[in-house]
Every structure is written in C-alpha cells, then in structure tokens.
Amino acid sequence: MPLTAPPGDDTANPAEAVLPEPAGPRRATPVGLVELSERVVESVLNRCPWLYRAVEIFLAACTVVCLIAIATRRSPLPLLPIPLFGVTYLLLRRLRTAETRAHRFRWSMLTALAAMTGFYLVSVVGRWVS
C-alpha cells in the first residue's frame, strides 16, 4: 500500500486510489440537548402541518368549556384560564411564522408552557369551585 493513499484504501497504484468524499454541505450532528431538541421540534412541525389547526381547535374548545362552566358553576373563577389560552393562541401564531430552528424551539416551548399553566388553572379552579 503506498503512503500517498488515503486511509482504508488498499490499492497498490496511487493513481487508482479512491479519494474520500469531499467535505461538502452536510447536516451538522446535534452537539447537545438544545440542538437535539431543536431538531426534534422542527421535525415534528414539518411532518405534521395540521398540528397548528388542531391546537387552535383544542384551545377554542377549552375556552368554550370555561365559558360554559361559568353558567353551570355560577362563579367567575372559570374565567381565570381564558387569558392564558389567549396567550397560548398568540404564541402559536408566532410559532407558525418562525423561520429559524432556534426560534421555532423557543416559541414552541413558550406555547407549551402557557397551555400547561392554563390547564393547571383549570384543575385548580375545579377544586376551588366544587
């Protein structure tokens, strides 16, 4: 094996040596947890374009349930989660228009946090009212 051949090439003639693939534009492998999370969020959002509409419908249904609970419980406490559902809707709109992977990750985390806080308030209000 000649010394000029690339590693792993066992050809005897250096002219026949196969050069390794050029280092062109390749996708970078995730370095840490944040990069891996960004890739997962982007993959989910690209594969499921209907997800935005489904979350909007679910937020609207939760808001309607809170409004119905005002009449059935005769208490204004079920109104508490509605502003958080509104914030979730606005964050979802920002997520839809985000262009970079990092922005999509940030907006999706904020959207999830606002929605979970709203659902937590629904459970707390349910305990208070009952």
pLDDT tens digits along 1-28: 445 555 655 555 656 655 566 666 666 6
Q: Is the pLDDT of residue 116 over 50?
A: yes
What is this structure's pTM?
0.69
pLDDT on residue 1: 45
Measure the CA–CA gap between 119 and 24, rounded to whole angstroms. Answer: 47
pLDDT on residue 63: 92
